[in-house]
Structures are given as structure tokens and as C-alpha cells.
């Protein structure tokens, strides 16, 4: 069904029928429920704290019963939150903050640990590039410029193998 057909169909319904359909969607489909819960109670600050906590646990897991868990370092955890936040329509400042936090916490981990997986560095650059594009397209570059530069500088200080990619990206952003 096209959007036009849907509009035509919805225009034919009474207010009561529309309300009934929306309630049915709310009860049947979890994403609809999540969306409406966010729309009517957008606790962005709570979502942001929860998200940052989960991302940080990927690199610095909690100790349980005296045993230290091994860090998983999964970029996908942050990517799921970012995608979810975009779908919900969360403020672009919050989304950009999460994008950069993901890279910053990974850099903190890398500064304390030797990382041999080449994929880690490539993944972090992909995150950096994605964040840069999002920040520019959202028109909030000036607010996040210093953090982007700091991430690039940290990659240089840690002598990441792909530091040239970070520097090139920063140069392109500043043009």
C-alpha cells in the first residue's frame, strides 16, 4: 500500500475507528508502543545515561563474584542505540553525543590495553566517519568540532595504524 492509498483509507475512517486502530497497533506491535511511550514521555537524559552505561560495559565490564569479565568491545551495541534513537527522533545533540562517546570510551580502553585486532581500528574509524557525517548533516558541527578533533588527536597520540584516515577526515571537515 502506498502512502497516498493509506492517507485515502485513513480519511475514510471516523475518529473512533482511527483511535481503535491506533490502540490496536499500540497493543500488537512493540515498536509502536516504544514510539508512543517516548513521544509522550521523552526521558532523553535517562535514555542517554542508560546507553552510555551499556556502551562503557562493553569495554569495562563489571566484576562479579571476584571474577573480572572479559571486555567484548562490540561496536554493534552503540550502533543499535544510535539507530533506535534516530528512529525515535531523539535530539541530534544526544545522538551525536552517543556517537562520539562510543569512540571516546574505546580510545580510553585502547590507551590502557594492547589491541591487536586490525578490525577494531577500522571499526572506530567507521564510527568516526559516520558521526562526522551525522553531525554535519544535522547542522551541529561547531558544537562538536572540538570533540572530533580531540578524537583524531587521540588516535594520533596512541599511534593508531589508520591515524591518517582520521586526519584526512578532519581536514575535509574544516574545509
Structure confidence by residue, pLDDT tens digits, 24-77: 999 999 888 888 888 888 888 888 999 999 999 999 998 666 666 888 999 999
With vertex at residue 174, the alpha carbon angle to CA 89 and CA 101, rounded to the nearest 5 degrees, is 45
Identify the pLDDT of residue 44: 85
- Cell numbers standing for residue 32: 509502536
Spatial separation of the C-alpha atoms in residues 131 and 72, rounded to whole Å: 22
Of the pLDDT bands very low, low, confident and very high (cuts 50, 70, 90), residue 78 is: very high
- CA 74, 75, 78, 80 dihedral sign is negative
pTM above 0.85, yes or no: no
Amino acid at each position: 500500500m502506498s502512502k497516498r492509498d493509506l492517507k485515502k483509507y485513513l480519511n475514510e475512517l471516523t475518529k473512533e475507528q482511527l483511535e481503535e486502530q491506533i490502540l490496536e497497533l499500540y497493543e500488537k506491535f512493540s515498536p509502536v508502543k516504544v514510539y508512543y511511550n517516548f513521544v509522550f514521555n521523552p526521558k532523553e537524559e535517562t535514555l542517554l545515561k542508560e546507553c552510555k552505561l551499556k556502551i562503557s560495559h562493553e569495554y569495562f565490564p563489571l566484576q562479579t563474584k571476584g571474577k573480572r569479565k572479559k571486555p567484548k568491545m562490540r561496536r554493534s551495541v552503540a550502533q543499535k542505540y544510535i539507530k533506535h534513537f534516530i528512529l525515535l527522533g531523539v535530539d541530534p545533540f544526544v545522538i551525536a553525543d552517543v556517537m562520539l562517546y562510543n569512540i571516546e570510551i574505546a580510545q580510553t580502553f585502547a590507551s590502557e590495553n594492547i589491541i591487536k585486532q586490525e578490525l577494531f581500528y577500522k571499526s572506530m574509524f567507521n564510527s568516526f566517519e559516520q558521526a562526522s557525517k551525522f553531525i554535519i548533516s544535522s547542522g551541529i558541527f561547531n558544537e562538536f568540532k572540538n570533540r572530533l578533533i580531540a578524537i583524531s588527536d587521540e588516535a594520533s597520540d596512541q599511534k593508531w595504524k589508520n591515524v591518517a584516515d582520521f586526519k584526512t577526515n578532519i581536514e575535509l571537515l574544516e574545509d
